[in-house]
Amino acid sequence: MSEPAHDGRLRLLVLFGGVSAEHDVSCVTAAHVLAAADRTKYELIPVGITRDGTWIRNDKAIAALAEATPALPDSLEPEGTEVEPLVEIAGDGDRPTVVLPLLHGPHGEDGTVQGMLELAGVPYVGSGVLSSALCMDKAMAKIVAAQAGIPQCRWIEFRAGTGETAPLVERTIAELGLPVFVKPANLGSSVGISKAHDAAELAEAIELALRYDEVVVIEEAVTAREVEVAVLGNLVPEASVAGEIRPGSEFYDYADKYVNGAAALVIPADLPPAESDRVRELAATIFSTLRCSGMARVDFFYEEGGRGWLLNEVNTIPGFTPASMYPKLWEASGLSYPALIDRLVELASERHAIRSGFSVDH
């Protein structure tokens, strides 16, 4: 049974799971959000998307949280009553609804779900269709950032079907040298990413990345610190303090993020005040340049004594557990995890109100 409705509560539909390789990460994130959200303010509606794309209303999640069940990720596997997406999103019409998509990766973070929510006319947390799709596609984001004059490391884009792997390996070594990082263009959480130290590893890394996406991005490996900034807002974004990641392995991979917790998060990052101000300003500029809204985490390389700040990537639905960098950066900036959820809901409503006010007359 769902919780009884109370006057004045906003209906907050938490959307999680999904069909991408980041399904499990999304479920864990949803567990923490549902546990932290203020149920005196929100009627929480957990909706899971199974790996085959079925939408499930999962009220068991709320019951598990009320009992403080320790195995929250397991309890949030999408099990419950199958629902029609647009019907569930619309609700019964007697209270405002805001959707909080916690869908990492393709078919969630890439503008597809955002487009559906736009057609449904429902406010939702995070960036719109264009920005979501742009930031999800690492190759296109790099092209736009380069046009805007934003500094980045050197890179090569490769599309499946445009050539053989052997010439690409030769070109990469000639243009970027070794080692290099190889990434699927449209995926996150370090899934499918490899560091290649020689030609054989590079060929294997390209084949691995092509299992996840038809576009591959190959980047030079830079000797640099990894620094991230959380950005919050719509037209006038705010940047958090900067935080540094010190990987527990050769790079900040999936195991570092979600399995062994070996990476160290240093918040705030030990930076000269001028550099701290510079990276925060640059993060806000990138947020606006890529037309983000609501939230985004902007990741940088800091090449001390060299090129300085280099954009790595932008995540429009960043990791959102209390142990994730995005909420921790805001906590260090004076905004608690529950307050951050509240602010994101407010920003979603504000953005929807502004866009709904535009004329559609021809």
As annotated, the active-site residues are 22, 189, 258, 297, 299, 313, 315, 319
Q: How, if at all, do strands 180-184 and 194-196 pair?
A: antiparallel
CA dist list (Å): 53 to 6, 107, 120, 149, 317: 31, 10, 19, 39, 19
- Region label for 263, one of left (φ > 0), alpha (ψ between -120 and 50) or beta (otherwise): beta
Helices 138-147 and 273-289: crossing angle, nearest 10°? 110
Residues listed for the chain = 362
Helices 337-356 and 325-332: crossing angle, nearest 10°? 100
